[in-house]
Copies of this chain bind each other. A is one copy, B any other.
Amino acid sequence: MGKQMTEMLKGTLEGIVLAILAARSAYGYEITARLRDEGFSDIAEGTVYALLVRIEQKGFVDVEKVPSEKGPPRKVYTLNAQGREFLEEFWTTWSFLADRIGQLREDGGK
């Protein structure tokens, strides 16, 4: 998708994944597939798994190992209270940034 998107995802991808998990629990492979379906055509698998490790270490999610009929066991991630709190902050930060940038665009930064 280009270098520009890569850099833009830094700091937002974490929020995106948490928002996905806020809707319902999911596992890595599923999240990657969903992101791809939604237009993030070349999110690397490794990227998602590394991110999941991070949010687990930060304590934003609870993890459960669930057997799969189609392959190795899945690690299902569920957003917990701490994660929900962090997601709140994410939305606040995102809104601020999106507002500022939207403003800039109107102001002739076109």
Contacts and interface: CB of A to CB of B under 8 A. Distances in A.
A69 interface: no
Q: How many copies does the complex hold?
A: 2
B16 A7 contact: no
A7 B8 contact: no
Contacts of A108: 22-23
Residue among A10, A18, A87, A97 with max Cβ neighbours from chain B (10 Å): A97
B101 A12 contact: yes
The interface residues of chain A, by DSSP majority, are classed as: helix
B19 A104 contact: yes
Given A38-B100, A40-B100, A11 B16 contact: no
A109 B23 contact: yes
Given A23-B108, A39-B96, A100-B38, A7 B11 contact: yes
Residue among A7, A8, A11 with max Cβ neighbours from chain B (10 Å): A8
Given A38-B103, A87-B109, 8 more contacts: A1-B93, A4-B89, A6-B11, A8-B10, A10-B10, A16-B101, A19-B109, A23-B107
